[in-house]
Amino acid sequence: MNDNNTPEENSVPEQTSQPQGGTGSGHDMPAAFTSHASQQTAPTEQFTAPVAHFTAPAANTANGSSFGIRPQGPEGIGQDQTAPVTPVATKPREKKSFGAGKVAALIVAASLVGGAAGLGTSYLGSTLWSQPVGSTATGPDTITVNNPGSVNETTAIATEVLPSVVTIQVAGSSESGSGSGVVLSDDGYVLTNTHVVTLGGAEADPTIRVTTSDGHLYNAKVVGTDPIYDLAVIKLEGASDLAPIEFGDSSKLNVGSTAVAIGAPLGLSNSVTTGIVSALNRSIQIASSAVPDSTQDSQDDQGDQGDQGGSPFQFDLPGTQQQNPNSSISISVIQTDAAINPGNSGGALVDSEGKLIGINVAIATAGSSEESGSIGVGFSIPSNIAKRVSEEIIESGAATHGLLGATVQDATSVSSADVAGAVIVDPTPGGPAADAGLKKGDIVTKFNGLPISGATDLTAQVRAAAAGSDATVTYVRGGKTFEVDVTLGELDL
């Protein structure tokens, strides 16, 4: 029903079917924030999983920095030590489904040859930054195929997608690290994570070098960062004829669908792992990677505040000292069991057709060790959110995010609540929630049709929407379920 049909306290509103309680995620931004380096665990009343920490698979940093791989000297493994491979021209990329019977044909069409694929320039140090930019020489082959007659679906997907994934090396005044990115345009716009290009919030103006899958090197500059959803866009200098990735529709995914992660875990460029979509509409809280004093130090005056939802998860950049110890963000993610490790951050999660369905952002670890790797619980920002945010960054240098205008908390923390959701504690006078007729005590159970199980869910889904967009909120009042249309405000960064 429309806003002007929102039931008043003394009227008998139209009753709709009762929701079954949140089973996924996607939430509204709680006010409490956690540190990257913090190992503390929030209350766990609402979670049964024994997972204790989120680790940003950001990558490998050196010089006391964060990612576990030290820079190698001229004799180190970062140097390509494989025999040269004669490049073979490939046909123009053509998106297709990789069903049975088509894989071998795709490999032949792509003119793949056997041979050793180099690791790329994964070490950091003074020699890295002195190398020439945009060389016309061709690097090593992207994929090794020794037996074209026995390739499988994953081989075909990797063949299609790897040219659209890059390795990103970042160096600051005292820290350095690496991550991954996906190519958005043939002239060098690349999408990655904010925590990759800011080294977890430590650097506002880092030196960035990018290695494409075929070994070409480019300098890059930050176009804009979006700390609210941990996304960033960089631009490669002098780039042309790159292979943009094709976006898929993340809203049409199914649990169990094929998911392939591509990036540079631990600096190992052109790495491919495979799995499935483990869960959809999951929401997690991670530490902010905003550069100090840039934006979003707190949201005390922004509304949409709430408790932390009892989340036991934390987002750590291994070894990095958190720059914003009191800042966190809530994001909606795809959960996958495809192996994601430090260095996969900003890389691609693609479907069985090689289309982008997510930007890899975080992993869960079972213990407090900062060196922990994948345990089969990885998270990616849905492609539909990433596409909107990246387009806004390229257009204006920043992205917008929705604002509901209410303090919220988990229904499980309210003794009188009889259904899971996010309870409206205090709607901001004159804010979108209040204008739509939402009142104190209302329990939000769905946002734009997606289940809301707590405060973090609601924050994440509201932030995923653009400022000024319309949303449908399903809520429970007095044991009855209602729907109302809300025009979201704009989060003031």
Q: Tell me which residues are annotated as active site.
A: 195, 230, 345
What's the Cα-to-Cα distance from 172 to each of 130, 189, 267, rounded to whole Å?
15, 21, 17
Q: What are phi and psi of 79, to 5 degrees?
A: -75, 140
Strands of 448-488 (E only): list them: 450-451, 470-477, 480-487
Written as six digits, the tokens of 289 are 């990677």
Cα–Cα distance, 440 to 426 (Å, whole number): 6
Beta bridge partners of 190: 183, 234
Q: What are phi and psi of 447, to 5 degrees?
A: -135, 115
Residues sharing a CB contact under 8 Å with residue 306, sequence separation 6 or more, in sequence order: 28, 29, 30, 31, 407, 408, 409, 410, 422, 425, 455, 456, 458, 459
Token pair 């707190």 is at which residue? 298
Written as six digits, the tokens of 401 are 């995010």
Q: Are 415 and 409 in contact (CB under 8 A)?
A: no
Q: Are 109 and 102 in contact (CB under 8 A)?
A: no
Residue among 282, 333, 324, 323 at smallest CA distance from 299: 324
- How open is the CA angle 54-325-194, to the nearest 5 degrees? 60
| DSSP helix, strand, coil percent of the chain (3-state; round to 5) | 15, 30, 60
DSSP state of 353: T
Token pair 């959960």 is at which residue? 335
Distance separating the N- and C-terminal Cα atoms of the chain: 32
Q: What are phi and psi of 27, to 5 degrees?
A: -145, -175
Cα–Cα distance, 184 to 391 (Å, whole number): 10
Residue among 110, 26, 121, 108 at smallest CA distance from 79: 121
For 396: left if phi > 0, alpha if psi spans -120 to 50, otherwise beta; the answer is alpha
